[in-house]
Structures are given as C-alpha cells and as structure tokens.
Amino acid sequence: MRRPFLIECKRQSMLVMLRRLTSVVALAFALTGPGSSAFGQATPAVPEDFLDHVRRSGDRIHFCLNPASALMEFDRAVGQRLADMLLLPAEFNQLANLNSHYGLDYRITLTDSDLFIQVSNECDALIGFPNPAIGTIQEWLMTTQPYYKPRFVLAFGPGVGAGIDDLAAGAIIGSRVSVYADSFLRAFLETQGNRWQRRIYSGNDGIVADLASGAIQAAVVWEPAINLAAATDPLATGIRVVDQPFALPVLELAIALPTNQVFLRNALDAAITELRRGGLNQLLAEFGLPAE
Amino acid sequence: MRVTAGLLLASASLVASATFAAAQTDPFANFTPVTDAMLADPPAGDWLMWRGTQNHWGYSPLDQITTDNVGDLRIVWSRAMTEGHQEATPLVHDGIMYIPHPRDIIQALDATTGDLLWEYRRELPAEGLPSIILTRNVAIWEDRIIFNSKDNFLVALDARTGELVWETEVRGQEDWGWSTSGPMIANGMAISGRSCAQQTGTGGADTCFLTAHDLATGEEMWRFYTLPQPGEPGYETWAGIPDDARRHVGSWITPSFDPELNLVYFGTSVTSPYSKFYKVDAANLDDEFLYQTSTLAIDATTGDLVWYQQHIRDQWDLDHPFERILVDTVIAPNPDEVRWISPNVVAGEERRVLTGIPGKTGIFYSIDRATGEFLWARETVYQNVISDIDTATGRATHPVEMIPTAIGQSLQVCPPAVGGKDWPAGAYSPLTNTIYYPLHNLCMNSITLETDIRLSPYVLAPGATNAGTIRGINVETGEQTWIWENATPQMSLLTTGGGLLFGGDVNRRFRAFDQETGDVLWEQIMPAQVGGFPVSYEVDGRQYIAVPVGSFLLSGAYTGLNPDQRPGTGGNAIIVFALPEN
C-alpha cells in the first residue's frame, strides 16, 4: 500500500536536506543501537522475559502503528514519507491487544507495561502518538514535533442552522467524555446559563451517528471523525462545522520514541518540518482529512 | 575427569531410579474428593482455597513450627515458574500442590518435592489479551480444579490428570477485562467476579457482573450486575448519564463465604474515569454510583443482594475489592483509638462481623455480616480522602477540596492508588483475635489529566519515614497491638497455630514474626520479590511453609520508592520451607 512519493518542496533543497538527515540518522543508529531497551528513565516493572533484547536491523526505521486509530493508514503514509526523506526503508508493525472499539478515535488504549513491551520489541518509533493536552507523557518516552494538528470543532446536524444563535434553547450538544475539549464546552455552557444541554458520549462514533440522525442538534467533536464518517455514511455529509463561539483545542499527533533515541528524534523532527512545509496538505486530501 | 564422569553416571542412575520409583507409586492414590463439608471445615494439613478457609482468615492451625523453633526453618525444595506477574497462591490437598502460573498454566506438584505430576496449558488467543496476565488462585471441588481463564471461560480440570472436564464461556472474549482471581466454592457452585470495561475499553455496563456456576455441569445459575442495569435498584444513582458511559465497577478478588448465613461477600472496584466530574455536573459529583467501592452481601443460592455498605464514593482509584474477613467476636471498641463507633454498639456483646480493611484507604471496619449494620471503623495509615463517617449508617464524608472539579487540578491524595492497602492480603489469628495487615505509608501527587486523574508519582505520606508497615489490629477493641516498619512495602501475610506470622517484602526478604509482639524471629533472603501468597500445609506429619516469589503487577510503583534497593524483576519460583526432619 505504499503511496506515490509526492512532495512539493523544491528538488534542490530536498537533496541538501537528504544529505544532512542521512548522516544524522546513520549516527543515531551507530550511537544508540536500534532495539536497545536501556532507556535511562523510569520504566514500567516489566519482567525481563518479556523483552526481546534483539537488535533490529539498523538500516531501516521500524514504525509502530496504532490499529485502533481512525488515522492508522494516514499515519502509515506519513511514516513512509518521513522514511523516504531520510533515505531509509520503513517497516511497520501494528500494536496488538488494544481492546478498543472506537472506530473514529485516536487513543492508544494500552497499559503502560504493554506499551513498553511492544515499543521495546517491535519498533524504533511509535507514529500516531497523541500528545496529552495537559500533563506529561511516560518518563521513558519522548516525542517529535507534531506532524498533524486536527481540531476539535463545534458542529451542527443537518438543517440545524449556521451558528450558535440558531440553536434552540434546550437543544442537545454532544461531547466526548475525557477529552480536553469537553471542559471547554462545559465552561462555555456555564457562561450561557446552561441554555443548552450537554450529553456525554464514550466515543466519536456515537456523536457523529446521533448528529447525522438528528438525535442531537450539535456536538463538540474531533473534526476528522466528521470527514471519515461522511466518507461512508451519506447522512453524515449533512454535518457542518459552524463558526466557533468559543475556543477549542487542537489534537497534536506526533511520533513517540524511547528516550535513548535522541538522534533519530532530531532526524524525524527535521523531516516533519519538511513535510509540514510542503506535502502534508496533499496527503490530507488523499485521505479525506481536514486541513489544519 | 574420570571421577567427574563416574559421579555423573552415578547421579544419572539415581535420577533414573527415583523416576522409576515415582512411576511405581500413584501420587494420587490417597486423593480424596473435596466435599462442601471439607471446604467449610478444611483438614488442618490442607490449604484448600485462596485464604485457606471460606472466612478468609489466611490462617493455618498447624503448630509444628513455633516461635521457639522457627529459626531452624530450611528450604526443602523450590521450583521455577513461568514468567509473568507473580501473585499466585498454591492450594494443597492430600499431599498434592496445585499452583497457577501466569498465562493460564496450572501445575500439580508433589507437595514434598515439587516434582511435576501434571501440567495444563491453556491455548489463549493471540490477540485481545494483554502481554502480562496473572492468576492469583484456583479452586478445588470434589476431584476438579476450577479456575477463571483469561479468555473469559470458567474451566474445570480433572485434579488427578489435569485433563479438561468442561469449560463455560462467561463473557465475550472481545470485552475488556479479566478475572485475575479464582472463584469461591459454595454449595456446589463456583462464585466469582471479574474486572470490566474501562472508559476506553471494549464492553459496556453489562460486562460488570458476578456469577455462580454449577460445578457439576458448568451451567450458570445466577448473575448479579455490580453496575446496575436499567430497571434494577441502583440504576438511578448514576446521575442519568447514558448507559454507554457507565463503566468499570467490577470485583477482582475472591469473595468470602458464610455457609451458615448462606451469604457470599464481595468487594467492588471504582468507576472509569475515577473522578466523576468528567461525566456529571457539580451537583452530582458526590453521588453514589452504585455499587462502586462497596461490600456486597449476596445470597449464595439466588444471587440476590441482601445488603450492601458503600465505604467511599471514589474519585481517586481507591478500589475496595479486598478480602472480607469473617470473625465471630466480642466487640468493645476502644474510643481512644477507634474514631467512629456506632451508637448501637453494646460493648461486650458478641457479633458475627465482617471486619478488616476492605479497600485502599486503609480504614479498618467492623460490620455485622448478617445485616450490614455499621459497628465501628478506625484509621490506620495516613489518609485525607475521608473527613468523617456517619456512625449511624457508615456513610463517609469526603473533603470538598479533595473532589476534583476540572482538568488540570493538582491534588495530594493519601493513600494512593496502590494503597494504603492493596491486593496483598492480611491474615487473622484466632490466637490473638487480631488481623495483621501489610500497609503502606504512601500518597500520590496527582493531577486531573484529559482522560482521568494521574495515579503517580508515589511519595511517602506526611510524617512517614518508611513506606512499608505491618500492623496488628485487634478485632474486639480496634486497638493497634503492634506496628513493624520497613523501608520497602510488605506483601501478603500468613498466620499459623504456632503463634507465627509469615510475610515477605518487595526487597526479597521473607520473615517470620511473633504474633504477640511483632518481633522478627527468622528471615530468609529470597531470589526475587515476594509477590505470591504464603500458605502452610502438612504432609506425612511434616509442616511446610510455601510462598511463590517473583515480581508482580505494579511492583515498579514500590521499587521506585527505594532506588538503592534493586530486587530485580521476574524470577518466578515457589520456595518451600520446613524444619529439619530429625
């Protein structure tokens, strides 16, 4: 499923960048050794038997993908392009045992121990890692700069109106529980004297389905969920993002690496800069995802 | 070289002889089926269930090993176990030891040598299970070994051969959550609970339940939802939030059983997310969300709820599923130490109580186990999540400032999500009418994140100098009889008729204490963290002490407290001690 390498940056600058990044990556592998689990930071108490301690082939990047993410194929394409920029073959392994059933989600639903084992054994870098909106990530992980920053948005169901003033008093606004955006909605509703009702959902699937069917009139929702639902559900094409009457956060999708992979992180950061400078928007369009 | 070769030949001959001799003797020749009557009153030399008896005492009446001779204890055999998190309990019956390993491996061993008699390895699905799965205990009934498998079956094995007798699917394999503990056997039924879907996991509110299965056939006899379903009592306590958002009130420790009252006692876990503000408005933050963090008394025959007592209304992942200890005792709580005493308590009266520490707060309760009436409660470790308990009802009051209301709030929560008390079990001794508990002087510096409250980092509680303690609490008076402190957290305990208390710690030390004084009488350095549950049994007139070792789930939370100690991870094995034969 490798996609054509379409990058919009100028050929000259590309060649310069490739030379620089290739040397950086070679140094990274030489110094750290792929597959090393000596992360140097507090790690989960995982019995050593669970760790392979096998050095992966050093001439390629092994990415882990999150199969529970609605963006997994997009993430794979991003990983492939970043690897191409670094003149390295890419291999992809899917995380296992996620036990997640939210089709329009992005979360990684693994215990810290399981994540540690799989990242240690299966990959150099985990692509599709959502940076937490608040707090810190695991001590043994670090992240690149984000490669995609989709929004949370206020959206209306078909025929509801064009702005918040069109929303009738008592109308229901859906919201995903346990996302930072939900707290923004709650704060907004309080300032409005709770003129509208908030209904919580465990996943984006339910929000989009109820918006499309008219069961709820509005929702704060992760914008890619709308696009992806519309690709398969004709009713969802009637969902519209409206003018935002209050601020909502973006989700930062980045690449997570063990903390001993500093050089590789720097190389990926540089490649992400180039991707975001040219090529990302086309990739988003290919996958039907909203532009930032 | 010649000598070495000769020794090898001699050794080989001896091994061959031993194997041949063993083959000539049926190790199950003396096996007697385990009846309900035996389970209600086990033979002194057996260890027939998780905590030895249905009342969860963790007590063996064997008294060959005493405070006087415990210093002579020696290792008599040991045996490596499968890798994975170690929280196992061996059962012993008629000289046969049955022990669960991680990944649903069950072994039968000669309890005097550790020699393998049979092994069952369950073929688990490649997908859908976490990498690390553990089993605390199995059960025995008649000639069957019963356990809850990680692929959500209740399984019966032939105790003589390890062959599968029957299996019954209890819950869909696609649902998040497992049984990490085995069933309680009551009236020919296997009664058990399980964990269930967290907010991000598969499976909804209908995956949180207790079950009873007929042991002859595997047929499910009743089911009780620990997260009430539409139309059931308690459904209304969830502030009207959608069914899909009601999650995670499970029960992950083996219940206790009173055959006279025909009641089985479960404890329950918390909701997901733990903090309620993620789902409900300010007016409902402190609602009950039944049956979170409660004791449930269930009719063993029908599955009907007879009474419940909710201990806290959680916001911080302070589960209450732990062993419910059943004691018939005089009660006379000492008001100098017992902070909350019911006005209905008559000092000196005898009560059938459910007592001890059921949850992570470290609060010690005494409850009439026939009626659920609150009798008294006291604090043990430092805690800041309960400001008061209504002595008429047992209902806790929580400080308003400890109830999160928004993302980004910082709290120091004491005890933390690993307790106070956690799953390592306490033990009761009828010799002293005292329960001994492994308790931790810990707090967690938490912040409310996007998805839930952060459960770490763990720090020492205010004023504490040691993380680990063992405390004895008298069940009549509520007085703390002694406390023993240690830098590293303590693990599960065992009491014996010899006046001893056995227990290990995270830093590989396994000790014997004097029940009366708390004095350390004996210590053995083990090869790994003492993650399993110690037991005692007798074969051919010789008393044994057995304890599985190896690191356990979340042991990193403890090892991180003392970075100078490096007990290592893994190293699963069972170590067995006895006095010299002569």
Task: Tell me: do A192 and A99 sit in the same domain.
Answer: no
Q: What mean pLDDT comes out for the span B400-411?
A: 94
- Strand, helix or coil for residue B2: helix
Task: Tell me: do A129 and A38 sit in the same domain.
Answer: yes
Residues from chain B contacting residue A101 (CB–CB below 8 Å) = 174, 202
More confident residue, B500 or A18: B500
| Residue that is written with structure tokens 């009592």 in the block | B233
pLDDT band at B274 (very low <50, low <70, confident <90, very high): very high
Q: Give B568: exposed, middle or buried? Use CB within 10 Å, 0-12, 13-18, 19+.
A: middle
State the nearest Cα–Cα gap between B156 and chain A, in angstroms: 26
Average pLDDT, chain B: 93
Distance of CA B159 to CAs A74, B213, B449, Å? Answer: 53, 18, 48
- The DSSP result for B246-297, as a single string, is -------SPPEEETTTTEEEEEB---SSSSGGGTS-GGGTT---TTTTEEEE
- Strand, helix or coil for residue A99: coil
Task: Tell me: do A167 and A23 sit in the same domain.
Answer: no
CB distance B377 to B366 below 8 Å: yes
Tokens of B147: 């356990």
* pLDDT-wise least confident of A95-109, B352-366, B423-437: A95-109
ipTM of model: 0.80
Residue A24 scores a pLDDT above 60: no
Task: Tell me: do A259 and A218 sit in the same domain.
Answer: no
CB-CB neighbours of B519 under 10 Å: 12
Residue B265 scores a pLDDT above 50: yes
Range of the domain at A87: 11-149+252-286
pLDDT for A215 equals: 96
Question: Which domains does chain B show, CATH number per domain?
Answer: 32-336+402-578 (2.140.10.10)
Task: Tell me: do A131 and A263 sit in the same domain.
Answer: yes
pLDDT band at B456 (very low <50, low <70, confident <90, very high): confident
pLDDT for A109 equals: 80
More confident residue, A21 or A121: A121
CB-CB neighbours of A235 under 10 Å: 16
* Segment A70-90, tens digit of pLDDT: 999 999 999 999 999 999 999
Task: Tell me: do A137 and A159 sit in the same domain.
Answer: no
Tokens of B129: 């299970």
Q: What mean pLDDT comes out for the span B142-153?
A: 95
* Segment B7-43, tens digit of pLDDT: 333 333 333 333 434 445 899 999 999 999 999 999 9
User: For residue A69, what is the domain's CATH number?
Assistant: 3.40.190.10
Residue A132 preceded by cis peptide, ω within 30: no
pLDDT for A170 equals: 95
Rounded percentage of chain B residues whose pLDDT exceeds 90 = 84
State the nearest Cα–Cα gap between A144 and chain B, in angstroms: 20
Q: What mean pLDDT comes out for the span B342-349?
A: 97
Q: What mean pLDDT comes out for the span B494-519?
A: 98
Q: Give A147: exposed, middle or buried? Use CB within 10 Å, 0-12, 13-18, 19+.
A: buried
Task: Tell me: do A181 and A265 sit in the same domain.
Answer: no
pLDDT for A5 equals: 34
pLDDT band at A38 (very low <50, low <70, confident <90, very high): very low
Tell me the residue type at B540: D
Q: What mean pLDDT comes out for the span A51-55?
A: 70
- The DSSP result for B300-346, as a single string, is TTT--EEEEEE----SS---B-S--EEEEEEE---TTT-SEE-TT--
Cβ-defined contact of B450 to A133 (cutoff 8 Å): yes
d(CA A277, CA A267): 16
* Segment B422-454, tens digit of pLDDT: 999 999 999 999 999 999 999 999 999 988 898
**Domain annotation covers residue A224:** yes
State the nearest Cα–Cα gap between A136 and chain B, in angstroms: 9
Residues from chain A contacting residue B410 (CB–CB below 8 Å) = none
pLDDT for A32 equals: 41
Q: What mean pLDDT comes out for the span A137-143?
A: 90
pLDDT for B371 equals: 98
B172 touches chain A (CB under 8 A): no
User: Counting one residue from A and one from B, how many pairs have CB atoms under 8 Å apart?
Assistant: 110
State the nearest Cα–Cα gap between A17 and chain B, in angstroms: 37
Cβ-defined contact of B449 to A177 (cutoff 8 Å): no
Task: Tell me: do A86 and A196 sit in the same domain.
Answer: no
Cβ-defined contact of B132 to A46 (cutoff 8 Å): yes
pLDDT for B439 equals: 98
Cβ-defined contact of B199 to A179 (cutoff 8 Å): no
| Residue that is written with structure tokens 């000669």 in the block | B110
**Interfacial residues of A (vs B; Cβ cutoff 8 Å):** 42-50, 96-97, 99-102, 107, 109-111, 113-114, 117-118, 132-135, 177-180, 182-183, 199-202, 206
Residue B79 scores a pLDDT above 80: yes
d(CA B454, CA A166): 39
pLDDT for B556 equals: 85
Task: Tell me: do A122 and A157 sit in the same domain.
Answer: no
pLDDT for A108 equals: 86
CB-closest option in A99, A199, A206 to B176: A99
Task: Tell me: do A133 and A183 sit in the same domain.
Answer: no
pLDDT for B560 equals: 84
B80 touches chain A (CB under 8 A): no
**Domain annotation covers residue A22:** yes
Cβ-defined contact of A113 to B570 (cutoff 8 Å): no
| Residue that is written with structure tokens 């008699």 in the block | B117
Residue A8 scores a pLDDT above 50: no
Number of domains in chain A: 2
CB-closest option in A44, A45, A200 to B241: A200
CB distance B179 to B193 below 8 Å: yes
pLDDT for B534 equals: 98
- Strand, helix or coil for residue A155: strand
Residue A45 scores a pLDDT above 80: no
**Domain annotation covers residue A177:** yes
pLDDT for B12 equals: 37
CA nearest to B560 within chain A: A42
**Domain annotation covers residue A6:** no
Report the DSSP pairing between strands A197-201 and B164-169: unpaired
**Domain annotation covers residue A246:** no
pLDDT for B451 equals: 86
Distance of CA A215 to CAs A160, A207, A211, A241, Å? Answer: 12, 9, 6, 17
d(CA B173, CA A114): 19
pLDDT for B15 equals: 35
- Which of A178, A198, A205 has the highest number of chain B CBs within 10 A, making it the mutation to test binding with B? A178
pLDDT band at A68 (very low <50, low <70, confident <90, very high): confident
**Domain annotation covers residue A4:** no
CA B527 to chain centre: 23
CB-closest option in B245, B449, B569 to A132: B449
Tokens of B452: 């839930």
pLDDT band at A101 (very low <50, low <70, confident <90, very high): low
pLDDT for A102 equals: 62
**Domain annotation covers residue A291:** no
* Segment A206-258, tens digit of pLDDT: 999 999 999 999 999 999 999 999 998 888 899 999 999 999 999 999 999 99
Cβ-defined contact of A46 to B449 (cutoff 8 Å): no
Residue A22 scores a pLDDT above 60: no
pLDDT band at A1 (very low <50, low <70, confident <90, very high): very low
Task: Tell me: do A181 and A261 sit in the same domain.
Answer: no
Average pLDDT, chain A: 84
State the nearest Cα–Cα gap between A86 and chain B, in angstroms: 33
Task: Tell me: do A97 and A131 sit in the same domain.
Answer: yes
